[in-house]
Amino acid sequence: MLLLAACGPDSTLAVDDPSWPGEEDELGTTQQEITCSPVMSRFPVGAPHNIGYDAASCGSGTCRISCPDVNKNSDWNGGSGHHGIDVFAFQRAPLVAVADGTISAVGTPSSTSGIRVRLRDRCGWEYYYGHMDQAVVSVGQRVSAGQLLGYMGRTGAASTHLHFNVSPDGRYSSDINPFNLLAATSPTACSTPAPPPAPTPTPAPSGCGILRPNTTLSANQSVTSCDGRFTLVMQGDGNLVLYKQGAWIWQTATNGRGGQRAVMQGDGNFVLYTASNVPLFHTHTNGAVGAFLNVQNDGNMVVYLGSSPKWASNTAGR
């Protein structure tokens, strides 16, 4: 039976990481020497797939998928900026750990990468999963080869696929062509059942005082508590300020630094950006996919995932 998956050639992924202030970007600047070859033992997609965009198997707008892949080829071209290989399957196909290791990053580093996860193995190699629909792991988490990391999607891309990069110590643009690793592990996607699906995140509420996922406060926009006493304002001077009936009780102290918009990101992080995407403040809540911001009637401003608080301004009662 012929199986098809929507597909299309990828564009160059950005390597900047503006949603993670203080963290090294995808290039890294504090590298350590790798100690051995990549230890990848599992294919990153737990389902029938197509390795590498090509006109023969994907030119119709859908890719012929199989398990193991009989149409595999490499679309890696580090010299021209395509640092990695695109793997096609279907929306929400399970994405699994290719090796035992530690999750080194989760989030949305740029508008072109979409949601991504980076997995670091014991030798210092990092495996980059881009354009995910959802991540179900968190930074610092230990995972085993084959463990569910999230689901294939199209965030930051024109078509559903996985952008997969293998690089020494997370140096994204110093990557190797992962084709041989993918070709060798392709059969492992067929030998075991797909991991169980993750629980569906609780939808964020709507209404007064709420800043939902993927919502932006631009300059001179605000969100107000339901009782009307507390207002969070993205000021034109670049400062993000929480007011109680005209008097400020919390601020980012970023006036004059070019702050332009505050974003409640889909990855759970609440970030204040400049016009050039430089982050000036964030709540360190990336990985809490689906979280929302609530300006409460008690004066506290809280980032919630479902009913669980992930960050607070600690201004209740002021």
Residue 280 above 70 pLDDT?
yes
Sequence-separated (6 or more) residues with CB below 8 Å from residue 224: 208, 209, 230, 231, 232, 295
Instruction: Establish whether the linkage from the previous residue to 68 is cis, with ω within 30° of 0.
Output: yes
Same structural domain for residues 186 and 219?
no
Contact indicator for 90, 152 with CB cutoff of 8 Å: yes
Residue 132 above 80 pLDDT?
yes
- Report the number of distinct structural domains present in the chain: 2
Amino acid residing at 39: V
Contact indicator for 194, 150 with CB cutoff of 8 Å: no
Q: Which pLDDT belongs to residue 15?
A: 33
Same structural domain for residues 249 and 135?
no
Per-residue pLDDT, averaged over 160-165, amounts to 95
Residue 23 above 80 pLDDT?
no
Same structural domain for residues 234 and 151?
no
Sequence-separated (6 or more) residues with CB below 8 Å from residue 214: 263, 264, 265, 266
Same structural domain for residues 186 and 278?
no
Give the three-class secondary structure for 29. Answer: coil
Tokens matching residue 185: 């592990």
Residue 59 above 60 pLDDT?
yes
Sequence-separated (6 or more) residues with CB below 8 Å from residue 211: 217, 223, 232, 264, 270, 292, 293, 294, 295
The alpha carbon torsion through 153, 307, 295, 114 (nearest 10 deg) reads -10
- Among residues 164, 191, 218, the one where a domain terminates is 191
Same structural domain for residues 243 and 185?
no
Q: Whole-prediction pTM value? A: 0.58
**How far apart (Å, rounded) are the C-alpha atoms in residues 137 and 304?**
17
Contact indicator for 159, 6 with CB cutoff of 8 Å: yes
* pLDDT grade for 3, boundaries at 50, 70 and 90: low
What is the b/e burial string over 154-183, where b = at least 16 CB atoms within 10 angstroms of the residue's CB? bbbbebbbbbbbbbbbbbbeebbbbbebbb
* pLDDT grade for 126, boundaries at 50, 70 and 90: very high
* pLDDT grade for 111, boundaries at 50, 70 and 90: confident
Same structural domain for residues 184 and 229?
no
Q: Which pLDDT belongs to residue 4?
A: 61
Residue 30 above 80 pLDDT?
no
Same structural domain for residues 167 and 262?
no
Q: Residue 223 domain-assigned? A: yes
Q: What is the CATH number of the domain that holds 118?
A: 2.70.70.10
- Among residues 130, 162, 191, the one where a domain terminates is 191
φ, ψ for residue 298 (rounded to 5)? -85, 0
Q: Residue 77 domain-assigned? A: yes
Same structural domain for residues 170 and 215?
no
Rounded to the nearest 5 percent, the helix, strand and coil shares of the chain are: 5, 35, 55
Q: What is the CATH number of the domain that holds 263?
A: 2.90.10.10
**How far apart (Å, rounded) are the C-alpha atoms in residues 101 and 44?**
14
Residue 193 above 60 pLDDT?
no
Same structural domain for residues 156 and 215?
no
Antiparallel, parallel or unpaired: β 270-274 and 148-152: unpaired
Same structural domain for residues 39 and 98?
yes
The end-to-end CA distance of the chain, in Å, is: 65
Q: Residue 197 domain-assigned? A: no
Same structural domain for residues 35 and 121?
yes
Please name every residue paired with 105 in a beta bridge, in sequence order, or none if there are none. 118
Q: Residue 201 domain-assigned? A: no
Residue 285 above 50 pLDDT?
yes
- Among residues 161, 191, 221, the one where a domain terminates is 191
Residue 70, Cβ density class (10 Å: 0-12 exposed, 13-18 middle, ≥19 buried): exposed
**How far apart (Å, rounded) are the C-alpha atoms in residues 136 and 106?**
9
Tokens matching residue 295: 């300006």
Q: Residue 204 domain-assigned? A: no
Tokens matching residue 52: 């590498």
Same structural domain for residues 177 and 235?
no
Q: State which residues form the domain around 233.
A: 210-312
Q: Residue 196 domain-assigned? A: no
What rounded mean pLDDT belongs to the chain?
86
